Amino acid sequence: MAPRADSTVAAMLAQKCPRCHRGPLFRYSALHLTRFDDMYESCAVCGQHYEPEVGFYWGAMYISYGFSTLIVVLTGVLLFYLAHDPPVWVYVTAVAVVVVALTPLLFRYARVVMLYFFGGIHYTPRFAESLPLRPAE
């Protein structure tokens, strides 16, 4: 039996299905740099379809942009205070390295947030407790 996250926040962090909190959303690890974006079409546990409508995840770009902006601001503030306001090229290089390094996570969590908040799917405990784990497509 796959581990289940009863908390919605824990399920989001674990990148699990919004309806049962058990099935994975992504096929591969975020560290698999050529396939980090591959999502299952539906949940292996409850059968919930992960794309409520065609083009649904286009909105995740705005969420990812927000995440990236937050990273740019945090990196800039940290550099300002910890590195005592270094030259501009240090800011630009540091921000570029951090954002590129975190791209797989930014992509994934933008989709997770999009699905959980705008997908119209709600946690239903009966799906998590009564259904066995089935092979994913």
49 within domain boundaries = yes
2 within domain boundaries = no
Domain that holds residue 117: 8-130
In this prediction, residues 89-108 reach a mean pLDDT of 95
Inform me whether the pLDDT recorded for 133 exceeds 80: no
In this prediction, residues 32-50 reach a mean pLDDT of 91
Q: What are phi and psi of 66, to 5 degrees?
A: -60, -45
In this prediction, residues 54-70 reach a mean pLDDT of 94
135 within domain boundaries = no
User: What are the helix (H) ranges across 1-137?
Assistant: 8-13, 60-82, 88-101, 103-118, 125-130
**Residue that wins the pLDDT comparison between 7 and 128:** 7
The confidence score (pLDDT) of residue 131 equals: 53
Averaged confidence pLDDT in the chain = 89
pTM equals: 0.83
User: Model confidence at 5, in pLDDT bands (50, 70, 90)?
Assistant: low
**Residue that wins the pLDDT comparison between 106 and 126:** 106
- Residues paired with 42 in a beta bridge: 49
Inform me whether the pLDDT recorded for 65 exceeds 90: yes
**Domains of the chain: total:** 1
23 within domain boundaries = yes
98 within domain boundaries = yes
70 within domain boundaries = yes
DSSP 35: T
The confidence score (pLDDT) of residue 130 equals: 54
End-to-end CA distance of the chain: 18
136 within domain boundaries = no
Element counts in the chain: helices (H) and strands (E): 5, 0
92 within domain boundaries = yes
Q: Which two tokens stand for residue 53?
A: 């409508």
